[in-house]
Amino acid sequence: MPSGGPHPTPRAGITAAKVLTKDKLDGKADLIALFDGVREIPEVIDGIRCQCGCAGSEGFYSLLSCYEGDGAMAKICHICQGEGKLAIRLHKEGKSLDAIRNAIDAKFG
Amino acid sequence: MKVRLLALALSLVTATDLQAQIRASEIGTFSQIIDGTKISMSYSRPRGRGRDPLFGNRKAVHWGEVWTPGANYATTFEVNRPVTLDGHPVKAGTYSVWMVVRQSGPWTMVLDPKVRIYHMSPPDSNATQIRFPIQTKDAPYLDVLTWSMPELRSNGGTLTMQWGKTRVDMNLDVTPSYALTMPQADANPYIGVWEYTEIDSAKVGPAERFVIDYENQTLKGRWHADSAYFKHFALVKIAPDWFAPGVYDDKGQVYEVYKPELVLEFTRENGRATSFLARDDQDKIVMRGKRIQ
């Protein structure tokens, strides 16, 4: 189990509609690529608990929450960013959600 | 409207007055995180106010008293994971803290799962309590009762209570988040001589040697450069085939595990590790390595 609590269950029908787009990312190429990568797999990112300490914040549900809205924490938080990058890479390698969760717990937990 | 504003102003003044109060024993807190275990204490902090001695004095703490090392409501000790205190297991939870104060011989430390107990009503000895002897020692005078952890290790530290010229030290050990040791059979697939290159942006550095060996039941690595910082570091297993460097202090204790900053991900062929990638906290590849022996 990750520090602070269990990983969330991805919400049925979850979309990336609230994930910030490049026009909100100040032209930062690295961030744009990361947020685009998250946008492609919201059903995976929504099943991950963030380890940076933001998980207790009001309105937070999953790592996906870190990429949503004008106050998206992943714009500035290296842990939110690193978890997103790891999840995207492992998903591309064909890893299951559980395997991705385990990897994030091992590296960031 | 004027009446309403006056009423509001009066209510604000009253609220402020209720919150502010000069106390003989002001409330303090102390917390420390060690390897993910959070240790917190909350207590009222009595001052000496010229009472000397503080212990064995009817005006402060008398011999034989079951005393909370604080004042007013009993001092609390909270841990979010199991720990041991002087070797005695303490489950995660919140406890009120008491000491049986004696003129000679060891005192008794008492942790009681009941909290919010006023100091005048100490709990009777019961089976739910954790009780063990503690030694007092002389120390330079400290006017305000203070809980602290003046010494820290990777797996614990010294929990200290001091008031007046009396000090109590307890050894606190946390539950380690990693196993530093592993059986030889589990270490064998990684042991050998490796060649690696550092990757800085698009630039690839010169090939260097990296040796992995097994010492004191621990898988260890040594960069060819013989880094004065990393030296002969532990390879701490954090997931199957994933390791993070654990750096030792001069007493042979691991004092920092480098994750997520540097994680070595090994790839196996026929059960033997043959290559690795080291990734940083942004999942960027910062080293590539391959086995040469």
The domain segmentation of chain B, as residue ranges, is 23-174, 184-291
Does the pLDDT at position B16 exceed 50?
Answer: no
Rounded to 10 deg, the angle between the A78-92 and A97-108 helix axes is 140
Dist CA B99 CA B111 (whole Å): 9
Mind listing the pLDDT tens digit for each residue in A65-100?
A: 999 999 999 999 999 999 999 999 999 999 999 999
B283 CB near a chain A CB, below 8 Å? Answer: yes
Q: Average pLDDT for residues A15-41, to the nearest whole number?
A: 97
Q: Average pLDDT for residues B19-28, to the nearest whole number?
A: 89
Asked if the structure places residue A54 within a domain, the reply is yes
pLDDT at B15: 43
Give the dihedral sign, CA B141/B144/B145/B147. negative
Does the pLDDT at position B5 exceed 50?
Answer: no
Set of chain A residues whose Cβ sits within 8 Å of the Cβ of B245: none
Among A82, A102, A103, beta carbon nearest to B281: A82
Fold of B184-291: Lipocalin (2.40.128)
Dist CA B65 CA B182 (whole Å): 48
| A4 — pLDDT class (breaks 50, 70, 90) | low
B201 CB near a chain A CB, below 8 Å? Answer: no
B249 CB near a chain A CB, below 8 Å? Answer: no
Asked if the structure places residue A61 within a domain, the reply is yes
Chain B closest CA to A107's CA: distance in Å? 5
State the CB neighbour count (10 A cutoff) for residue B249: 11
Dist CA B109 CA B168 (whole Å): 10
ipTM, interface predicted TM-score of the complex? 0.93
Asked if the structure places residue A74 within a domain, the reply is yes
Does the pLDDT at position A10 exceed 50?
Answer: yes
Kindly report whether the global pTM for this prediction surpasses the value 0.90.
no
Give the dihedral sign, CA B22/B44/B151/B228. negative
What's the number of domains chain A is made of? Answer: 1
Q: Tell me the CB-side half-sphere exposure of residue B286, using CA atoms within 13 A.
A: 12
Q: Which three-class secondary structure state does DSSP give residue B203?
A: strand
Mind listing the pLDDT tens digit for each residue in B104-126?
A: 999 999 999 999 999 999 999 99
Dist CA B201 CA B64 (whole Å): 68
Q: Average pLDDT for residues B92-97, to the nearest whole number?
A: 98
Q: Note whether B111 and B75 are within 8 A (CB).
A: no
Tokens for B202, please give them. 């698009």
| A3 — pLDDT class (breaks 50, 70, 90) | low
pLDDT at B227: 76
Range of weakest confidence among A29-33, A82-86, B22-26, B161-165:
B22-26
pLDDT at B241: 98
B15 against A81, higher pLDDT: A81
Rounded to 10 deg, the angle between the A78-92 and A29-40 helix axes is 50
| B26 — pLDDT class (breaks 50, 70, 90) | very high
| B286 — pLDDT class (breaks 50, 70, 90) | very high
Kind and range of the H or E run holding B157 = strand B156-174
β-bridge pairing B242-248 and B263-269: antiparallel
Tokens for B164, please give them. 């007046």
Backbone torsion region of residue B71, taken as left when φ is above 0, otherwise alpha when ψ lies between -120 and 50, otherwise beta: beta
Does the pLDDT at position A55 exceed 70?
Answer: yes
Q: Which residues pair with B195 in a beta bridge?
A: B209, B290
Asked if the structure places residue A14 within a domain, the reply is no
Closest B-chain CA to A90 = B283
- Cβ burial of A40 (10 Å; 0-12, 13-18, 19+) is middle
Among A82, A85, A106, beta carbon nearest to B239: A106
Set of chain A residues whose Cβ sits within 8 Å of the Cβ of B92: none
Q: Note whether B107 and B99 are within 8 A (CB).
A: yes
β-bridge pairing B66-67 and B208-215: unpaired
Mind listing the pLDDT tens digit for each residue in B249-284?
A: 998 989 999 999 999 999 999 999 999 999 999 999
Mind listing the pLDDT tens digit for each residue in B152-207?
A: 998 999 999 999 999 999 999 999 988 999 999 999 999 999 999 999 877 888 89
**One-letter-per-residue 3-state SS of B12-73:** HHHHHHHHCCCCCCEEEEEEEEECCEEEEEEEEECECCCCCCCECCCCCECCCCEECCCCCE
pLDDT at B183: 98
Q: Average pLDDT for residues B76-86, to the nearest whole number?
A: 97
Q: Which of residues 51-90 of A touch B (CB under 8 A)?
A: 78-79, 81-82, 85-86, 89
Asked if the structure places residue A17 within a domain, the reply is no
Q: Which three-class secondary structure state does DSSP give residue A26?
A: coil
Round the average pLDDT of chain B to a whole number and report it. Answer: 92
Which are the contacts of B64, defined by CB distance < 8 A and separation ≥ 6?
B100, B101, B102
Asked if the structure places residue A46 within a domain, the reply is yes
Asked if the structure places residue A84 within a domain, the reply is yes
pLDDT at B8: 40
Tokens for A86, please give them. 């790891």
Q: What is the DSSP letter of A68?
A: B
Closest B-chain CA to A86 = B283
- Domain of residue A103, residue span: 22-108
Dist CA B243 CA B265 (whole Å): 7
Asked if the structure places residue A9 within a domain, the reply is no
Among A89, A107, A108, the residue to mutate for chain B (most B Cβ within 10 A): A107
Q: What percent of chain A stands above pLDDT 70?
A: 96
Does the pLDDT at position B1 exceed 60?
Answer: no
